[in-house]
């Protein structure tokens, strides 16, 4: 992201290693996971997604909806804006955005996820891939990549596509795990945000800002947040309290960014 190709070894894993850029801190999985070759990252079995909809509080994608939308609203995105969630899974964020007054719809590469989202959540989602040219230029007010860019072999290309889809002054909303968080550094291979079997890239705030600006976006703002969940043990309570303390100082392990397409 910063033009430097000197990486330092961070982690040696059974089937891969994780390296970190010496300047901006961007991490990468080497070799990249097989999902990076364009195949679906999630199960193709509709029963998998139906079970997830039945017990959403125990699923990671359900917990990612509130904080991104709160940041978007605080950044000035008006109710009634047309919002596209790219990589929407079954459409939890689409449903949450619709409840907040957005005209929300979504895309996902998994036909199974899309089918379950339509059936169980009643959301406007469809199966399409980024490279398929499935979105009209200048048709969207908001484009969301919520825990998607880390999966893509070329996240810069995805952001450039989003810039074409957005109307002038439109909003970009990105959520990724924060590779620069103290929890990521301290827990190493045990960090929940690492997921080397799926994640090609491991973003820091500096790396993500550079990537977004290189795609032509301005007015870049970012924050970090914790992912809400109900602690069930003393160990979980300790980690929850630590994450809560890191959030106000922008060191929590979930990174959120909002930017604008220039007029």
- Which positions of the chain have pLDDT values less than 70? 35-48, 50-63, 132-133, 228-232
Q: Identify whether the C-beta of residue 103 lies closer than 8 Å to the C-beta of residue 81.
A: yes
HSE, CB side, 13 Å, CA atoms: give it for residue 156: 10
Pairing between β-strand 166-177 and β-strand 140-146 as defined by DSSP bridges = parallel
- The residues spanned by each domain of the chain are 45-179+203-260
pLDDT of amino acid 249: 84
Q: Which two tokens stand for residue 180?
A: 């620069």
| Angstrom distances, CA of residue 207 to CA of 17, 151, 251 | 19, 15, 15
pLDDT of amino acid 37: 43
pLDDT of amino acid 39: 44
CATH 3.30.420.40 fits domain 45-179+203-260 = no
13 CB-near residues (< 8 Å, 6+ apart): 189, 196
pLDDT of amino acid 52: 65
pLDDT of amino acid 36: 52
pLDDT of amino acid 189: 94
DSSP string over the chain: --S---EEEEEE-SS-EEEEETTT--EEEESPPGGGGSS-SS---HHHHHHHHHSGGGSGGGGGSHHHHHHHHHTTPPTT-EEEEET-TTTHHHHHHHHTT-EEEEEES-HHHHHHIIIII---EEE--GGG--S-TT-EEEEEEES-GGG-S-HHHHHHHHHHHEEEEEEEEEEEE-TTSHHHHHHGGG-TTT-TTT-SEE--HHHHHHHHHHTT-EEEEEEEEPPP----SHHHHHHHHHHHHHGGGT-SSEEEEEEE---
Q: Give the global pTM.
A: 0.90
């Amino acid at each position: 992201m910063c033009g430097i190709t000197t990486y330092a070894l961070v982690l040696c894993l059974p089937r891969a290693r994780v390296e970190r850029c010496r300047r901006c801190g961007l991490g990468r999985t080497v070799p990249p996971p097989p999902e990076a070759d364009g195949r679906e990252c999630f199960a193709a079995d509709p029963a998998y997604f139906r079970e997830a909809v039945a017990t959403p509080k125990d699923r990671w994608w359900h917990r990612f909806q509130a904080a991104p939308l709160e940041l978007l609203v605080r950044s000035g995105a008006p109710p009634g804006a047309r919002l596209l969630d790219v990589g929407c899974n079954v459409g939890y964020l689409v449903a949450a955005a619709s409840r907040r007054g957005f005209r929300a719809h979504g895309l996902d590469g998994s036909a199974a996820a899309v089918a379950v989202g339509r059936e169980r959540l009643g959301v406007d989602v469809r199966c399409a891939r980024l490279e398929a040219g499935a979105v009209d230029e200048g048709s969207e007010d908001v484009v969301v990549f919520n825990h998607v860019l880390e999966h893509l072999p070329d996240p810069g290309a995805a952001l450039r596509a989003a810039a074409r889809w957005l109307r002038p002054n439109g909003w970009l909303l990105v959520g990724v795990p924060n590779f620069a968080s103290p929890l990521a550094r301290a827990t190493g291979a045990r960090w929940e945000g690492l997921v080397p079997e799926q994640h090609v890239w491991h973003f820091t705030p500096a790396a993500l800002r550079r990537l977004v600006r290189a795609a032509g976006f301005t007015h870049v703002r970012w924050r970090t947040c914790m992912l809400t969940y109900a602690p069930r043990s003393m160990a979980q309570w300790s980690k929850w309290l630590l994450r809560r303390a890191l959030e106000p100082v922008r060191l929590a392990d979930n990174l959120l960014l909002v930017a604008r397409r220039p007029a």
